[in-house]
């Protein structure tokens, strides 16, 4: 439970979108990001894939650290 997977989307060096495994959804930080977050949060397959990324990337590598 101490592990968090974060995916951030950047445009012009500004973060506009972020997925956080602790929230389980996308959050938008700009007008473009809010629109994309709403679209991505409606798609259950996208959310399931991002939630599975925590298992794939984080928990797989935690023993290395």
Q: How many whole angstroms separate alpha carbon 34 and alpha carbon 18?
A: 10
List the domains of the chain with CATH numbers: 6-64 (3.10.320.10)
Bridge partners of residue 64, in order along the sequence = none
Q: Which of 18, 28, 26 is closest to 47 using CA atoms?
A: 26
End-to-end C-alpha distance for the chain, whole angstroms? 16
Mean pLDDT of successive 10-residue stretches along the chain, which has 65 residues: 87 95 94 96 95 84 76
Q: How many whole angstroms separate alpha carbon 41 and alpha carbon 49?
A: 12
Q: Would you state the pLDDT for residue 7?
A: 95
Question: Under DSSP, is residue 43 helix (H, G, I), strand (E, B) or coil?
Answer: coil
Strands 25-28 and 6-11: unpaired
């Amino acid at each position: 439970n101490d592990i968090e997977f974060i995916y951030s989307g950047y445009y012009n060096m500004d973060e506009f979108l972020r997925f956080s495994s602790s929230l389980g959804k996308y959050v938008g930080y700009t007008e473009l990001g809010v629109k994309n977050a709403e679209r991505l949060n409606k798609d259950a397959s996208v959310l399931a894939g991002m939630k599975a990324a925590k298992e794939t990337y984080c928990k797989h590598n935690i023993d290395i650290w």
